[in-house]
Structure 1
Amino acid sequence: MNKQLLKKEIQQFINANLNADLHSLLLKKSPFPEVSIQEIVQQIKGKQVAQKKFPFLLKEGIIFPPQLNLEQSSSEKTALYKSRILKGKKFIDLTSGFGIDAYYLSESFEEITLVEQNAELLAIVEHNWNVLGRKAKFVNQNLEDFLNENKETYDVIYLDPARRDHNKNKVFLLEDLSPDIIEIQEKLLSISNEAVIKLSPLIDLKYLVSVLPNLFRIDIIALKNDVKEVVVFLSNQNSGKIICHCVNLESHEADFSFDFGSEESAAAEFGEPEKYIYIPNNSVLKAGVFNVISEKFKLKKLHTNTHLYTSNQKITDFPGRILEMEVIEAKQIVKKSQFNIISKNYPLKPEEIKKKYSLKDGGESYLIFTQSKKGKIILKSV
């Protein structure tokens, strides 16, 4: 970690180049002999990422790590969500990385330990926490070695495993992560009441249930309808029942919880479009509880493969969008009109629909191209 980056004139240069062409900047010589142009560009990239993911770090004195460490870091919003559901006395993050999750989670615990094998990255985190006035014990050690030597117990263990292999290709199965979650899960629960693990949004939920015998909770976390994380909770005190929570942060949509496995016994009712069309958010779609949604909210599903629902009543606690719509004929579509176009279980993609009907994208009105049990239909917002 080069603390020369914190010099006033260097910080001024970094801030003045936040919108610069970084490829061109890398071809130039650093105007400061004490820092390289690569180090400067790394700080510019860090601030660019921070503007979107964790703006609380946009303050004087903060140093940013390489881009790969920033990419896997949780956003401020998802970290804040997790901090609201985890609490206790002693907390340890075994793969602290850039420490965004740990920073927010530390607000709910008295004693904090961060373990990170990358000495340079850990030094940056420790420096930043000092700047932010947050205390912790920082341990620079390989996770496996730490677990073998550790004699303490914790209320909560947190992990965010590396999801790239030695060739930097993305991996998803728990046994392919670093650390191997399958291999260490029993060890984790021997020193903690609860282990919480952040995973890829692409992970298969049924696979998780099959390989994690102590699993008792799954949270699917979306941010503005983009699924960002799947977080699993393990405990030796689990009852065998698994609760799944679907949340869509930065929206006004209700959270949705269900018993994992209930989809198999649930039955959907089918029907043609009524006054309101219900579109589940992406955290619910990731959960795959299409029959449960129909049963829980007493909604009719349009088609087996169309995950849209309908009712004549407006149900305000539905976890997704609710649109008042009517069925129209294709000849009623006015060319050059502006619509938000949705295609669900329909042969044409939105771009193809726009081209076919000469439509503009955007605005406040919706067109949904989909299928019901009776065939293809077009729905227009009222």
Structure 2
Amino acid sequence: MGDKLLNIKVQDYINANLNTDLHALLLKKSPFPEVSMHEIVQQIKGKQVALKKFSFLLKEGIVFPPQLNLEQSSSEKTAQYKSRLLQGEKFIDLTAGFGIDAYYLSENFNEITLVEQNPDLLEIVRNNWNILGKKATFINEKLENFLEENNEIFDVIYMDPARRDNNKNKVFLLEDLSPDILAIQEKLVSSADKVVIKLSPLIDIKYLVSVVPSIFRIDIIAVKNDVKEIVIFLSNQKDNRIFCNCINLESDDPVFEFIFGDEENAVAEYGEPEKYIYIPNNTILKAGIFNLISQKTGLKKLHPNTHIYTSDSLMQDFPGRIFEMESIDAKNIKKKSQYNIISKNYPLKPEEIKKKYSIKDGGENYLIFTQSKKGKIILKSV
């Protein structure tokens, strides 16, 4: 990393250009012989990302890594959530990266170890942690080599594997990751009381359970209904149950808890639309617990393939959106009226619906185009 980026004049120049067009800036010659314009723009991008994802890093002396490392870092919100789940004496992050997760997850531990194979990235993290007053042991080594040589037992091992760039498979497999979790899972669970692994929201949960026998917990984490992470917890001390949690951060949605496999035996009750309509958040949809939601909440499902629920009396504690609606006939939709359109299990997409009925987008009212067991229906917010 070097101290060249930390020069006061360089830092002043970076801060003075935070709102400058970066493409135009790259075409200019750097005013500093020892610092390239590419390095300067990299720091500006880092500060811009930090403003949205991890504002605690907006301090003098903080250095930011290349764009890819910024993109792969967890957001402050998801890292803070995970930090509340973990505590103990010894914490180790085997894929430290830019160190965002480690910064938060290690809060409730006395001994912190960060392993990172990229020496430049590790040096950046070392600098930043020193600025932030956070202590750790920094190890520049491939995690496979570290695990092979390690005889220490940790309270928590954390990992955030990266996807290999050269693998173009549409199906997301653990073999596609670096490191390959399947190849080291036995060594992981023998080296810690608990292993926590962050995975892409694209990964299939049933597949995970089938190939990682030591899973005892799965968290599906969204921020404002955008699923960001699947986090799995491993241990060699587990029973046959896998506890699952659907978490939608920065929302009023309650956490929905269930046991993996309960969906297979769950029975949904079906019914036509009543006064209240419920649309589950995306963590529920990712979990695929469509019958279990009906069984556990007592809400009626509209159709086997329509993941919308209904009730005559209001259930406030629901993990998703709640509408008060009534059924209407298509001929009663006025042209040029303004609605937010939701289309679920319906032949037309929202854009096609707006065009067909000459509807303006937006406003406070909703139209839901969907299907019940009796056929296609349209619901209008009251």
Deviations 1:228-248 (A, max 9, x none): 000000011110100110000
Distance 2:170 2:177 in 1: 9
Deviations 1:137-189 (A, max 9, x none): 11111111111111211001000001133479898311221111001000011
Deviation at 1:360, TM superposition (A): 2.6
Distance 2:147 2:154 in 1: 12
Distance 1:145 1:157 in 2: 15
> CA distance change for structure 1 residues 171 and 60 in 2, over 3 Å: closer, same or farther?
farther
Matched residue, 1:133: 133
Q: Percent identity?
A: 75
Matches within 5 A, 1:214-293: 214-293=214-293
Distance 1:365 1:10 in 2: 52
- Which amino acid counterpart does residue 196 of structure 1 have in structure 2? V
SS of structure 2 residue aligned to 1:307: strand
2:334 pairs with 1:326: no
2:207 pairs with 1:207: yes
2:75 pairs with 1:104: no
Matched residue, 2:55: 55
**Contact between 1:164 and 1:171, CA under 8 Å: does it hold in 2?**
no
Matched residue, 1:197: 197
Distance 2:169 2:261 in 1: 32
SS of structure 2 residue aligned to 1:213: coil
Matched residue, 1:294: 294
Distance 2:284 2:182 in 1: 26
Deviant stretches of 4+, over 6 Å? 167-171
Matched residue, 2:123: 123
Distance 1:113 1:219 in 2: 24
Q: RMSD in angstroms over aligned alpha carbons?
A: 1.5
Query: How many residues end up aligned between the 2 structures?
Result: 382
**Contact between 1:161 and 1:178, CA under 8 Å: does it hold in 2?**
yes
Q: TM-score, normalised by structure 1?
A: 0.97
Matched residue, 2:306: 306
> CA distance change for structure 1 residues 228 and 45 in 2, over 3 Å: closer, same or farther?
same
Structure 2 stretches lacking a partner, 5+ long:
none
Matched residue, 2:4: 4
Distance 1:359 1:31 in 2: 54
**Contact between 1:171 and 1:177, CA under 8 Å: does it hold in 2?**
no
Distance 2:226 2:63 in 1: 28
- Which amino acid counterpart does residue 346 of structure 2 have in structure 1? Y
- Which amino acid counterpart does residue 236 of structure 2 have in structure 1? N
Q: TM-score, normalised by structure 2?
A: 0.97
Distance 1:364 1:358 in 2: 17
> CA distance change for structure 1 residues 5 and 337 in 2, over 3 Å: closer, same or farther?
farther
**Contact between 1:70 and 1:98, CA under 8 Å: does it hold in 2?**
yes
Deviations 1:321-350 (A, max 9, x none): 111111111222233333221110111111
**Contact between 2:167 and 2:176, CA under 8 Å: does it hold in 1?**
no
**Contact between 1:93 and 1:114, CA under 8 Å: does it hold in 2?**
yes
- Which amino acid counterpart does residue 172 of structure 1 have in structure 2? F
SS of structure 2 residue aligned to 1:85: coil
Distance 1:50 1:169 in 2: 31
Deviation at 1:25, TM superposition (A): 1.8
Deviation at 1:48, TM superposition (A): 1.4
> CA distance change for structure 1 residues 167 and 214 in 2, over 3 Å: closer, same or farther?
closer
Deviation at 1:197, TM superposition (A): 0.4
Deviations 1:269-312 (A, max 9, x none): 11110000001000010000000000000011111111000001
Distance 1:42 1:355 in 2: 44
Deviations 1:182-204 (A, max 9, x none): 01000011111111100010100
Distance 2:372 2:43 in 1: 52
Distance 1:3 1:240 in 2: 53
SS of structure 2 residue aligned to 1:252: coil
Structure 1 stretches lacking a partner, 5+ long:
none
